[in-house]
A and B are shown apart, each in its own frame.
Chain A
């Protein structure tokens, strides 16, 4: 029943207070964040709250029937405490600032990680908070990961929310729900906030077609080396998207992590990855194959050029180039922005 694998992404990541060095780099505009105001916070009784209300009603009926003064006192005390707890529930959320940090692009089918920065300024500790992505219309799907956390006075926490990025393109998981049942669990106060969570999803690398041959990039500048030469130049750690063929399996078997072989070859040559070189398949399949090629080429340190209908990225190599190419794939033909 309650065997939900808790290891799965329900973890609040960095929980140490924000470094005192003011807003983190790279979060220029977002540094102020979204301030949760009272009017944006909704509150409704929980299932337990309804049950509690029923119990208090029965107690009040009993007090009336028996004419029991202390019965009245207790019932009204509980009514009062429940009402007061509503204020405290709302107050537990109000004044928080939420902002999103940059989100690394992912490949389709992988978990997209969204980092929500919850900033608790002021001298109040916050208790029993939870955050999750507001997917769907209702309270969330059964398997929605929920992150539970609390915040010390004047502190910041980074909450990692995850969702499976199923399709390439821009992925907006929608709004974030931040909720609390504090203090008594009789009411749930919550807010759904649009803070512009967005993450770029590359096509899923797939396909077994052989990459195109190297080509002399420019006859005039042809290098001295022969083409097709693949020189093993070293090992580095496995990165997402690396081809399984390049994994140094022997080292893996020796328990030395997952090294990947890097080849330096054809420094003077260039691989042209063309849309039309992919044989058969629909757009997504082709993009997946191109994605695989880009990753392979990048892994080998090759210079490559990407030619898509309407897009031509000149030959280059390196991290920036890889990213440019993958972005082009992700956004090819106005991938539906979700």
Chain B
């Protein structure tokens, strides 16, 4: 390639080296825990080498050593991951490449390759986290990288580092409107363009489609948000906030799983009663095949399906944040169950839970009415010394019998599963519903936050006269859990309480308010930044009267808007002075303006001395101040004198030409 004579002089000066190395370090550091330690260490070593070269003149490795080192490290990355593609291996690869490229960067071209690697590493950070914190941090990094581009294309000494940063910030601010237009109007496509690597998504979070002792209590340690809800009208009472998720029918004595009826797509049947509740849910991606809704949901979000037992299921895992509108009837009755369902809801594993079966059989003998049996069972939980705890003792042989008769301490899953077993043993069809209960109202955003720690399990029993009825045995033991929410039953581990401070009082309130503020911010971020996908774009464009399907029109209008914005920006720039305005010149301009008002205007081509001579000729009485000011100005401006500017400023301020 022919060297461009205009860039041939370009060299990687120590300053440029420090800037670009610093940028790369800033984007590699957040990856520190995600890449193997040796990748991080080798990057640090190579970056250090380059800096030592720039500062102390330590020689860089020979070309051959670089080639050998690169080959070795690429092989090592391949050995560590079994591939060079995908998210994790890709990041390690980029870090290794950045380190090696630093070793051989001398020319302009190399510098821009390093910049591109830096920007790539910024974007890889977003594959792991898209939180506000990550966004803000990376914005700062992008600012520094942009200032580095300025360092690449100005001669050294033309701009101080701070001036470069300020200029880069100005450019990014000017770029922001264009970014926003592109962000909102650029056609969003659903789904990946090509297959995503297996590690593209995070771990499954939240509820799973099975329940065994300890599964939900583990979730309760997590403060992560499951979803957020905005009610269109008044929010229902806290004890009505049952967010329905997977319904479990089958048990093997230890674990509850969904079983056959839960996958049934036959028509759902509900008698609508009471007032409907309208609300919008913004669900966090949880990599599972269902959505949550307030009981009893009567609408089906786009692309989802509803099973016979009123679960909302999606054909694909929920991999992106999603917003959907729902309408539910909390009072509705699920008044139908097929024979098949009823028998599935009675099945018990043979040979398990003998003591529980015996207890249930005793109740059955005493009581004819199913309602009475249910009441008796709830009374049992209320009267016996049951304890609601996150850390129950280990259950060894029969989780239901041991829980009911020995340990008597457990979490919602223990209560729900033993209650369901008791009901089934008494001949009452019962099933377990998992989901979330409650939520925290955020007064700042006027919405409800449902966290993983609100995960819950309850039961539904079939009563011939009332249909499927929700029974929450946890409420019999820990009514606060249902009435006031999880925080009241078991204080969160975060915040002041985690430090052993009481979960009441002003400190606690401050903590709560702070948390609400943060969450309101997060919620807006989720709605408008992270959750902005094809669906929301469709809505937004419909609002603007644009058909999102018409890609051509969309592209053209996007282009037109961007061009228009650039035009406006050009006009604005033309009227504005960029860069550090020269304070001395500004003072002198004020002086000229005063003279202009007095009737002597400086010509564009006139130097200060000539102008002063003309002024003195025209207004001899101004001789002294004009000559003194001009003299000071010329001395400051052209002689590079170290005279303080204040004197000139005062003289001009006091100057009153007549």
Interface residues of B in 166-195 (CB under 8 A from A): 167, 171-172, 174-179, 182-183, 186, 189, 191-194
| CB under 8 Å from chain A, chain B span 298-354 | 319-320
Q: Classify the secondary structure of B's interface with A.
A: helix
Stretch in contact with the other chain, from B115-123, B228-236, B615-623:
B115-123
B303 to chain A, nearest CB (A): 15
Residue of A nearest to B528 (CB): A69
Judge whether B155 and A148 touch: CB under 8 Å. yes
Min Cβ gap B232→A in Å is 26
Q: Which of A20, A77, A125, A188 touches B580 (beta carbons < 8 Å)?
A: A125
The residue among A62, A80, A130, A185 with the most chain B CB atoms within 10 A of its own CB is: A80
B44 within 8 A of partner (CB): no
Contact present for B4 and A139 (CB under 8 Å): yes
Separation of A186 and B7 alpha carbons in the complex (Å) = 13
- Whose C-beta in chain B lies nearest to the C-beta of A130? B6
Interface string of A159-195 (1 = CB under 8 A from B): 0000000000000000000010111111010000000
Complex contact B172–A77 (CB within 8 A): yes
Docked CA distance A142–B3 (Å): 8
How many whole Å from B116's CB to the nearest CB in chain A? 4
Q: Across the interface, which residues of A come within 8 angstroms of B581, CB to CB?
A: 123, 153
Instruction: State which of A64, A122, A132, A188 has its C-beta within 8 Å of the C-beta of B577.
Output: A122
* Assembly CA distance A55 to B121 (angstroms): 12
Q: B573 to chain A: which residues have CB within 8 Å? A: 87-88, 91
Q: Give the residues in chain A near B532, CB-CB below 8 Å.
A: 69
Q: Within 8 Å of chain B (Cβ to Cβ): is A79?
A: yes
Pair B112/A48 contact, Cβ less than 8 Å: yes
Q: Do residues B200 and A66 form an inter-chain contact, with CB atoms below 8 A?
A: yes
Q: Are B153 and A182 in contact (CB under 8 A)?
A: yes
Q: Is the CB of B138 within 8 A of A67?
A: no
Q: Is the CB of A142 within 8 A of B2?
A: yes
The reply to whether B182 and A79 contact each other, CB–CB distance below 8 Å, is: yes
Chain A proximity of B388: nearest CB distance (Å):
40
Instruction: Say whether B119 contacts A78, CB under 8 Å.
Output: yes
Number of A-B contacts (CB under 8 A): 231
- The residue in chain B whose Cβ has the minimal distance to the Cβ of A91 is B573
B5, A141: Cβ atoms under 8 Å?
yes
A144 to B3, CA, bound (A): 12
Question: Quick one: which of B130-182 are within 8 Å of A by CB?
Answer: 130, 134-135, 138, 142, 146, 149-150, 152-155, 158-159, 167, 171-172, 174-179, 182
B167 touches A183 (CB 8 A): yes
List of A residues within 8 angstroms of B126 by Cβ: 68, 70-71, 74
**Shortest distance from the beta carbon of A11 to any chain B beta carbon, whole Å:** 12
Q: A83–B561 Cα gap in the complex (Å)?
A: 13
Q: Flag if B604 contacts A83 (CB, 8 Å).
A: no
Using CB atoms, name the residue of chain A closest to B167: A183
Q: Are B127 and A66 in contact (CB under 8 A)?
A: yes
Q: Which chain B positions have C-beta within 8 A of A244?
A: none
B116 to A55, Cβ gap below 8 A? yes
Cβ of B183 and Cβ of A31 under 8 Å apart? no
**With A74-B123, A88-B578, A183-B171 as contacts: A6 and B183 at CB distance below 8 Å:** no
Cβ contacts under 8 Å, B647 to chain A: none
A19 near B638 (CB under 8 angstroms)? yes
Interface footprint category on B: 35 or more
Closest to B106 in A: A2
Once the chains bind, are A20 and B638 in contact (CB under 8 Å)? Answer: yes
Given A61-B193, A73-B529, A80-B175: A150 touches B577 (CB 8 Å cut-off): no
User: Does B593 make an interface contact (CB < 8 A)?
Assistant: no
A51 touches B116 (CB 8 A): yes
Q: Is the CB of A20 within 8 A of B609?
A: yes
What distance in Å separates the Cβ of B401 from its nearest Cβ neighbour in chain A?
Answer: 48
Residues of chain A contacted by B175 (CB below 8 angstroms): 77, 80-81, 83-84
Check B378 for interface membership: any CB of A closer than 8 A.
Answer: no
Interface size class of A (residues with CB under 8 A): 35 or more
- A128 contacts across to B, CB distance below 8 A: 153-155, 158
Chain A residues with CB under 8 A of B178: 76, 79-80, 83-84
Would you call A77 and B112 a contact (CB within 8 A)? no
Asked if A69 meets B529 with Cβ closer than 8 Å, knowing A79-B182, A128-B158, the reply is: yes
Given contacts A74-B122, A124-B577, contact A88 B171 (CB under 8 A): yes
Is A77 touching B6 in the complex (CB atoms < 8 A)? no
Q: Given A67-B192, A124-B578, A77 and B529 touching (CB < 8 A)? A: no
- A323 interface hit (Cβ, 8 Å): no
Q: Does B501 contact A (CB under 8 A)?
A: no
Binds A, one of B452-460, B490-498, B543-551, B562-570: B562-570
Write out the residue numbers on chain B whose beta carbons fall within 8 Å of the beta carbon of A150: 154-155, 158
Most chain B beta-carbon contacts within 10 A, residue among A4, A78, A149? A78
A320 close to B (CB within 8 Å): no
- The answer for the CA separation of A152 and B158 in the assembled complex, in Å, is 9
Tell me whether A245 is interfacial, beta carbon within 8 Å.
Answer: no
A196 within 8 A of B: no
Shortest A176–chain B CB gap in Å is 14
Nearest A residue to B574 via CB reads A91
A39 neighbours in B (Cβ, 8 Å): none
Contact A65/B607 with A128-B158, A142-B2 known, Cβ cut-off 8 Å:
no
Q: A89: nearest residue on chain B (CB-CB)?
A: B153
- Give min CB distance, B214 to chain A, whole Å: 33
Shortest Cβ gap from B42 to chain A (Å): 24
Q: Is A52 in contact with chain B by the CB < 8 A criterion?
A: yes
Alpha-carbon gap, A65 to B183, bound state (A): 15
> Is there a chain A Cβ closer than 8 Å to B608's Cβ?
yes
Assess whether B196 is interfacial by the CB under 8 Å rule: yes
Question: With A22-B607, A91-B574 given, is the CB distance from A185 to B580 under 8 Å?
Answer: no
Whether the pair A51, B4 counts as a contact (CB closer than 8 A) is: no
Report chain B residues within 8 Å CB of A179.
6
State which residues 591-606 of B face A: CB under 8 Å. Answer: 604-606
Residue of A nearest to B321 (CB): A69
Q: Does B8 contact A (CB under 8 A)?
A: yes
**Given A59-B119, A80-B176: A181 touches B637 (CB 8 Å cut-off):** no
Chain B neighbourhood of A66, CB < 8 A = 127, 192, 196, 200
Cβ–Cβ < 8 Å partners of B134 in chain A = 70
Q: How far is the CA of A282 from the CA of B172 in the complex (A)?
A: 66
CB contacts (< 8 Å) of A122 on chain B: these are 577
Docked-complex contact B605 and A48, CB < 8 angstroms: no
CB distance from A135 to the nearest CB of B (A): 11
Check B9–A6 contact: CB distance below 8 A: yes
Chain A residues contacting B107 (CB-CB under 8 Å) are: 2
A61 to B186, CA, bound (A): 12
Task: Give A72 to B112 CA distance when docked, in angstroms.
Answer: 21
User: B634 to A20, Cβ gap below 8 A?
Assistant: yes
Residue from A19, A68, A72, A152 in contact with B186 in the complex, judged by beta carbons closer than 8 Å = A72
Instruction: Report chain B residues within 8 Å CB of A84.
Output: 171, 174-175, 178, 566, 569
In the bound complex, how far is the Cα of B149 from the Cα of A127, in angstroms? Answer: 13
Instruction: Provide 24 A-B residue pairs closer than 8 Å at the C-beta atoms, listed in order of the A residue.
Output: A4-B8, A10-B9, A17-B638, A18-B607, A19-B638, A21-B610, A32-B605, A51-B113, A55-B120, A59-B119, A66-B192, A68-B126, A68-B130, A69-B529, A70-B130, A70-B138, A71-B123, A73-B135, A74-B138, A77-B175, A85-B171, A86-B566, A132-B5, A183-B150
Which 10 interchain pairs have the tightest Cβ spacing? A80-B175, A80-B178, A185-B153, A22-B607, A76-B182, A55-B116, A70-B126, A81-B175, A48-B112, A184-B149
Where the two chains meet, the residues of B that have a C-beta atom closer than 8 Å to any C-beta of A are: 2-9, 11, 107-109, 112-113, 115-116, 119-120, 122-123, 126-127, 130, 134-135, 138, 142, 146, 149-150, 152-155, 158-159, 167, 171-172, 174-179, 182-183, 186, 189, 191-194, 196, 200, 319-320, 529-533, 562, 566, 569-570, 573-574, 577-582, 585-586, 604-610, 634, 637-638
New contact pairs (9) apart from A78-B119, A124-B577, A127-B155, CB-CB < 8 Å: A69-B130, A70-B123, A70-B130, A70-B529, A74-B142, A76-B182, A80-B174, A80-B175, A128-B158
Q: A residues near B, CB below 8 A?
A: 1-2, 4, 6, 10, 16-23, 31-32, 47-48, 51-52, 55-56, 58-59, 61-81, 83-88, 91, 121-125, 127-128, 130, 132, 139-144, 146, 148-150, 152-154, 179, 181-186, 188
